[in-house]
Amino acid sequence: MATGMTITEKILASHAEKDAVSPGELIEVKVDLALANDITAPLAFGVFEELGAKRVFDPEKIALVPDHFVPNKDIPSAQQAKIMMEFARRHSIKHYFEPGDSGIEHVILPEKGLVLPGDLVIGADSHTCTYGALGAFSAGVGSTDLGAIMATGRTWLKVPATMKLVYEGRLRPWVGGKDLILHTLGQLGVDGARYKALEFSGEVVSKLSMDQRFTMANMVVEAGAKSGIFEPDDITRAYVSQRSSREAQYLASDREAVYERIIIINVDHMEPQVALPHSPDNVHPVSQLDHVPLDQVFIGSCTNGRIEDLRVAAKLLKGRTVASGTRLIVIPGSPLIYKQAIQEGIIEILLDAGAVIGPPCCGPCLGGHMGVLAEGERALSTTNRNFVGRMGHPKSEVYLSSPALAAASAVLGRIGSPNDL
């Protein structure tokens, strides 16, 4: 076994109550937070009850967030939300969020201080990897696994090998975390990091805000990764210290840690990036795209529904109008972000530009509601996936970009750069 460990290996070792772990090892770990949403929770509850469990392992270490189809869009979604509410009440789940206090799960849990550096978080949602931005190990599982975790507080994992991504150089204007991760997906491919931990490092990421780090960690699963992680630093510390008094574990990879691969990415000449249909790794610089007209632009989701995302959109939309024939939908990721956007005048700017503002939820991202695409329609979205039929009709098309590019494109009525304004 190597003498040094990566940050991922250190977190897993501590949760397996071992001195050290190495890639490929099967371990049993204790879970600090188990998470489910209105789609995945009812299935997990079924498994929990099949196991004959009478009570959850810890009512303070489970988070239940209705966010995919809320406010309830139809009778089946209303039934699912009701099942979730009843289970939460029956088991006195502390972190069950009613609509009004609820938002997108991967936005509100860090915001409410429920995930800290060094934690191990498992969620029945593939984008649970988002919390790696905080220096936590976080990964998605199926509802069956989550049902067992809710009963026992433990799960088994294979220790992933780590790939280190080192970002060097200086970011150009309008290029940020979303462009970095899209560019990286273009390089790795959708299975280029299968069951790996992706460790983000280098001078570029050390300067990124938490909002941008969440965006990058959120999309590691699009490369097939098990998890993504940033070493927590002063930016992380400033973020969590305002949100939680619980003690965090600030860990870092050892100098002699062993990586499966180290990839160096220079950002000096990087442009805003766009993922073309129908895959998040079909990535091109915006300058390579010809005239691509748009029916819809969506700014929001667990990838880019945070306050900085709305700020950059408002900066570009101020005094401008969404193009005729293009609809712009903006959904803040949480009630707190929504409120902040009102206080900063962002919502007014967006409304004046012709945007539609939705309540905090996932909404259009998964073709859920409030922005479903019709046959032949084309959307540019700040979300994380653009598979066939992801946002609606199987014959619609989804392109992925940053909020800056999305806002500029809404004004242009076609995919274009903020520089085109």
Please give the domain boundaries of the chain with CATH numbers for all domains.
Answer: 7-264 (3.30.499.10), 275-420 (3.30.499.10)
pLDDT of residue 193: 95
pLDDT at residue 365 in the model:
86
Average pLDDT over residues 109-122: 98
Q: What is the pLDDT of residue 1?
A: 47
Under 8 Å between Cβ of 117 and 232: yes
Average confidence (pLDDT) over 6-28:
97
Kindly list the strands in the beta sheet with 261-266, ordered across the sheet, starting from the edge strand earlier in the chain.
227-230, 197-201, 162-168, 261-266
Local confidence band at 338 (pLDDT 50, 70, 90 cut-offs): very high
CB-count burial class (<10 Å; 0-12, 13-18, 19+) for 408? buried
Instruction: Tell which phi-psi region holds residue 317, choosing left (phi > 0), alpha (psi between -120 and 50) or beta.
Output: alpha
Quick one: three-class SS letters along the chain? CCCCCCHHHHHHHHHCCCCCCCCCCEEEEECCEEEEECCCHHHHHHHHHHCCCCCCCCCCCEEEECCCCCCCCCHHHHHHHHHHHHHHHHCCCCEECCCCCCCCHHHHHHHCCCCCCCCEEEECCHHHHHHHHHCCEEEECCHHHHHHHHHHCEEEEECCCEEEEEEECCCCCCCCHHHHHHHHHHHHCCCCCCCCEEEEECHHHHCCCHHHHHHHHHCHHHHCCCEEEECCCHHHHHHHHCCCCCCCCCCCCCCCCCCCEEEEEECCCCCCEEECCCCCCCEEEHHHCCCCECCEEEECHHHHCCHHHHHHHHHHHCCCCCCCCCEEEECCCCHHHHHHHHHCCHHHHHHHHCEEECCCCCHHHHCCCCCCECCCCEEEECCCCCCCCCCECCCCEEEECCHHHHHHHHHHCECCCHHHC
pLDDT digits (tens, 9 = 90+) for 354-375: 999 999 999 998 988 999 999 9
What average pLDDT does this structure show over 40-63?
97
Interval 312-321: pLDDT, tens = 999 999 999 9
In this prediction, residue 307 carries a pLDDT of 98
Task: Please report the pLDDT score of residue 3 as a whole number.
Answer: 75
Tokens describing residue 269: 């000449």
Digit-coded pLDDT (tens) for 215-260: 999 999 999 999 999 999 999 999 999 999 999 999 999 999 999 9
Span 263-275, pLDDT tens digits: 999 999 999 999 9
Q: Which two tokens stand for residue 34?
A: 């188990």
| Reported confidence tier of residue 279, pLDDT bands at 50, 70, 90 | very high
Longest dimension (CA), the chain: 62
Over the stretch 340-354, which tens digit does the pLDDT of each residue have? 999 999 999 999 999
Question: What is the chain's mean pLDDT, rounded?
Answer: 96
pLDDT band at 99 (very low <50, low <70, confident <90, very high): confident
Q: Which pLDDT score is estimated for 2?
A: 47
pTM for the model stands at 0.96
Map tokens 């005239």 to a residue: 291
Q: Percent of the chain beyond pLDDT 90? A: 96
Give the pLDDT score at 107.
Answer: 98
Check residue 108 and give its pLDDT: 97
Question: Of 231, 174, 220, 216, which is closest to residue 197 (Cα–Cα)?
Answer: 220
